């Protein structure tokens, strides 16, 4: 995938709404849970990030991040990895993740504290939760510090990669957050998506 195949426009973060997967789709994220109050709490805490040849950036529905804010970049594609990072400032250009404009999101340039793969979408989580890996190399943490484990997953679908955060095991627990990374010629770098990873609009 070449970066010029992507329009440098922000992704949409819409609670309980998913993106369509066609070439003209708007990338989106979905927060959903069996607990009614959950969507509002996850949407401003989780976004999508990517590293290009010139910068690493994130798009998130949170306009209150300042330089120095700590985040964690999680790549759930196997082998799963995570990298601490800090916000370096508001991005002058949108993070190149999607096709269509969504003015509800904010874009930030970030500085990773280690190397990250180029042009591979990552889940950006505010703060520095302790990330561990289970026996299946699935990244996991306790985002709410309530004794319940959240897990991170990525899968490939038509024209892009779907990123998800689950309470409990991926595909078995409750879907908490969903994001979509547009890619014009998806190389199928992750497992094929199941319907549960592509919430219907």
pLDDT digits (tens, 9 = 90+) for 133-170: 998 899 999 999 999 999 999 999 887 899 999 999 99
Q: Which residues, including other chains, have CB under 8 Å from residue 180's CB and lie 6 or more apart?
A: 11, 18, 19, 21, 25, 27, 28, 29, 98, 160, 161, 162, 163
Per-residue confidence (pLDDT) for residue 41, from 0 to 100: 76
What predicted TM-score, i.e. pTM, was given to this entire model?
A: 0.80
Where exactly are the structural domains of the chain? 3-192
Report pLDDT digits (tens) over 96-134. Answer: 998 776 677 899 999 999 999 999 999 999 999 999 999
């Amino acid at each position: 995938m070449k970066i010029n195949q992507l329009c440098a426009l922000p992704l949409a973060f819409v609670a309980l709404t998913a993106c369509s997967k066609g070439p003209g789709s708007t990338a989106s994220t979905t927060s959903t849970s069996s607990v009614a109050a959950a969507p509002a709490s996850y949407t401003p805490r989780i976004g999508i990030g990517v590293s290009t040849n010139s910068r690493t950036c994130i798009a998130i529905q949170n306009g209150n991040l300042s330089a120095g804010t700590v985040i964690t970049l999680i790549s759930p594609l196997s082998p799963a990895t995570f990298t601490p990072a800090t916000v370096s400032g508001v991005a002058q250009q949108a993070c190149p993740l999607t096709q269509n404009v969504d003015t509800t999101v904010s874009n930030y340039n970030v500085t990773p504290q280690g190397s990250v793969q180029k042009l591979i979408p990552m889940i950006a989580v505010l703060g520095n939760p302790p990330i561990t890996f289970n026996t299946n190399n699935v990244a996991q943490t306790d985002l709410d510090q309530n004794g319940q484990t959240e897990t991170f997953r990525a899968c490939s679908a038509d024209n892009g990669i779907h990123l998800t955060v689950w309470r409990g095991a991926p595909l078995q627990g409750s879907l908490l957050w969903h994001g979509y990374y547009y890619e014009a010629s998806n190389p199928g770098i992750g497992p094929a998506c199941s319907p549960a990873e592509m919430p219907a609009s």
